[in-house]
Structure 1
Amino acid sequence: MSVLTPQAGTQAIYRVNPVAKLGATAIISIALVLSIDWVSAAVALAFESVLFLFAGLSLRRFALRTLPVTIAAFFSAVTILLYGQPSGQSYLQFLLINVSDGSIELAIATLLRVLAIGLPAVVLFVTVDPTDLADGLAQVLHLPSRFVIGALGGLRLVGLFIDDWKSLELARRARGIADRGRLRRFAGQAFALLVLSIRRGSKLATAMEARGFGASNRRSWARESRFGAAEVALLVIGVVVAAVSVTVSVATGNWNFIVGG
C-alpha cells in the first residue's frame, strides 16, 4: 500500500470533504503564525489533542505519521534555545551559544507552535483520499481542472517512486555496485530515479493528453463532491479553536504580534 493512500475508516472525519479539512487547518495555522507566544499554541494544541481522538488513528500509527513533525519541532526548539536572542538571566554562555530566560521561553513557544500547526495537517492528510481531494478542489473551489488532474496524477506517482527506489537499490546490489560508498551510491541512485521519473512523467502527460484530460472545455466528474453540514461544522471548529487560542493569549498578556513586535 502506498504511503499516500489512507486506510479506510468508519469515523465521520473520513467522510468529510477534504476542502473543509484544508480550510480548518489553514484557519488554525494563520491564527498561530500571527504571534510568537506559548499560550496560544498551548491552547490550540490542547483542543487539537481532543480532536485527534476522533481521527480513528491508533497510538502507534499516530506516532509514526507525526514523527517528522515531532523531530522538526524538537530541533527547531533546540536551535532557538541555544542561539535565540538573549534576554533576562543568562544560564549558559559559550561562543555563540547563550541560554537565557528569553531563549527558553521562545524555544518553548516554537516547539508548541510547530506541533500545533503541523500535527493537525498531518492527521487530516492521513484521512484524505487524493481523488476526493482533487474532486473537491475542482468542484468546490473551482480550480482549473487541468491543474487539479495533473497534480493528482503526480501525487499518485509518489508511491511508484518509492517502489522504484527499492528496485534500483536491489538491482545495484545484484550488480555488485552498491557495497561501498554510501554517499556516492545515494547520489547515483537519486540521479537514476530522477531520470526515470522524468520519463514516466512525460509518458503519463502524453497519455492524459491523448485521453482528453487537457481539454479546455468544461468537463464532467464521475463523483460529485459535496459540501454540507459536516464540512461547515469542521470549519466552525477550526474558527473556534483559533479564536479561543488568540483570546486566551491576549487576555493573559502573552500575545506577541509578529508584525508589531
Structure 2
Amino acid sequence: MSAPLSLGPARPVPLSAVNPVAQLSAVLVVTCVLLVSGDPVTPGVLLAAELALLPAAGLSRPGDVLRRTWPLLLSALGVAWVNVAFGSLDGGEAWLSGGTWALRVVALALPGILLVASTDPVRLADALTLHWRVSTRFAYGSLAALRLVPLLAAEWETIRLARRARGVDGGRNPVAHVRLLASTAFALLVGAIRRGSRLATAMDARGFDSGVTRTNARGSRLQPLDRWFVVGAVALCAAAVTASVLSGAWSPVFS
C-alpha cells in the first residue's frame, strides 16, 4: 500500500517561517500577473523563482518533487498537446503557444504546492480567521475537510485491494477498467458523504454553528519577514514583466 498523503510538513522547513496569509498574498500577486500575461518570458521567469524555492519548502529530493507534482506535469503536457493538436496556429508557432500555456499552468499551480508543503493546515486556518477575518465556520470546516483527504486516499486503496482480493478485476478489457473505476469512485463518494455528515454533526455539537464569537488559543502574528516576502513577490512579478517587455515578447491576454 502506498504511503499516506501528507498535507503539512513533517518537520519545520525554512518557508514555514513565513505566515500563511503572506504566502497566500504572494500567490495572489503571482496569479494575477500570470493570468494577464500571454508570453513565455513572464511565466518562465516566475517559474524559475518558484523552482528555486523548492528546497526552502523541504522539497529538495527529486522523488519528493515528482510525487507532489506529477499530476501538475501531466496537466501541463495535456494543455500543451491540446493547443498544438487543435489550435489554429501551425508549425513552430503552435509549439510556442503550447509551450507557453504549459509554462503558465505549471507556474500557476506550483505556488500552491509550495504552500501546502510548507504550511500546517491548522496554522493556515488560524491565520485566515485572525488576519483576513474569514468565517471560523468556513475556515475550520475547510480544515476538517483537508484533514480527511489522506483518509480518502487510504480508503481508495483499501477498496481497490479488497475488490482485487475478491477477484473483481478489469483484466485487459479497458471498458471493464472504466466501469470498475466508476464503481470504486461511487463507493468512495458514498463513504465520504457519510463521514462528512458525521463530522458536520460533531462540529455543530461543539458549537461551531452557535454564532458566538470564537477566541483563538494559538494566535498568528505578522512579522517583518512576511511583509518582505510579499514585497519580494511584487518585485519579482515586476521584474518578470519588465524582462518580457524589454525582450519584445510581452503579449497581454486581453489585448
Instruction: Note if 1:51 corresponds to 2:53.
Output: yes
**Normalised TM-score (structure 2):** 0.89
Report the counterpart of residue 93 of structure 2 in structure 1.
Answer: 102
Report the counterpart of residue 40 of structure 1 in structure 2.
Answer: 42
2:125 to 127, 134, 152: 134
User: Partners in 2 of 1:108 and 1:26 — Cα distance?
Assistant: 23
Question: What does the per-residue CA deviation read over 1:7-47, in whole Å, with 9 as the maximum and x for residues that have no partner?
Answer: 33343212222111121112111111102101111222222
Report the counterpart of residue 83 of structure 1 in structure 2.
Answer: 86
In structure 1, stretches of 5+ residues that fail to align are 87-98
User: Partners in 2 of 1:63 and 1:174 — Cα distance?
Assistant: 30
The answer on whether the counterparts of 2:21 and 2:131 sit within 8 Å (CA) in structure 1 is yes
**Normalised TM-score (structure 1):** 0.87
Instruction: Note if 1:144 corresponds to 2:135.
Output: yes
Report the counterpart of residue 94 of structure 1 in structure 2.
Answer: none
The answer on whether the counterparts of 1:173 and 1:179 sit within 8 Å (CA) in structure 2 is no
Question: What does the per-residue CA deviation read over 1:162-215, in whole Å, with 9 as the maximum and x for residues that have no partner?
Answer: 222222223333444446533222222222221111111111111111111122
Q: Larger % of helix: which?
A: 2
Distance 1:161 1:11, change over 3 A: closer
In structure 2, stretches of 5+ residues that fail to align are none
Instruction: Specify the code of the residue in structure 2 equivalent to 1:239.
Output: V
More deviation in 53-62 or 34-43?
53-62
Instruction: Specify the code of the residue in structure 1 equivalent to 2:118.
Output: T
Instruction: Specify the code of the residue in structure 2 equivalent to 1:133.
Output: L
Distance 1:49 1:71, change over 3 A: same
SS in 2 for 1:163: helix
Report the counterpart of residue 198 of structure 1 in structure 2.
Answer: 193
Distance 1:124 1:254, change over 3 A: same
The answer on whether the counterparts of 1:8 and 1:14 sit within 8 Å (CA) in structure 2 is no
The answer on whether the counterparts of 1:36 and 1:109 sit within 8 Å (CA) in structure 2 is yes
Report the counterpart of residue 8 of structure 2 in structure 1.
Answer: 6
Distance 1:2 1:152, change over 3 A: farther
Report the counterpart of residue 28 of structure 1 in structure 2.
Answer: 30
Instruction: Specify the code of the residue in structure 2 equivalent to 1:120.
Output: P
Instruction: Specify the code of the residue in structure 2 equivalent to 1:79.
Output: V
Distance 1:213 1:85, change over 3 A: same
Instruction: Specify the code of the residue in structure 2 equivalent to 1:157.
Output: L
User: Partners in 2 of 1:109 and 1:151 — Cα distance?
Assistant: 33
User: Partners in 2 of 1:114 and 1:190 — Cα distance?
Assistant: 26
Report the counterpart of residue 215 of structure 1 in structure 2.
Answer: 210
SS in 1 for 2:16: helix
The answer on whether the counterparts of 1:13 and 1:54 sit within 8 Å (CA) in structure 2 is yes
The answer on whether the counterparts of 2:7 and 2:146 sit within 8 Å (CA) in structure 1 is no
Alignment of 1:118-133 (within 5 A): 118-133=109-124
Q: Offset at 1:238?
A: 1.1
Percent of aligned pairs sharing the same letter: 37
User: Partners in 1 of 2:43 and 2:204 — Cα distance?
Assistant: 46
Instruction: Note if 1:114 corresponds to 2:105.
Output: yes
The answer on whether the counterparts of 1:62 and 1:123 sit within 8 Å (CA) in structure 2 is no
Q: Offset at 1:132?
A: 1.1
In our comparison, the structure showing a higher alpha carbon Rg is 1
User: Partners in 1 of 2:201 and 2:157 — Cα distance?
Assistant: 26
RMSD (Å) for aligned C-alpha atoms: 1.9
Q: Which runs of structure 1 show a deviation greater than 4 angstroms over 4 or more consecutive aligned residues? A: none
User: Partners in 2 of 1:11 and 1:162 — Cα distance?
Assistant: 25
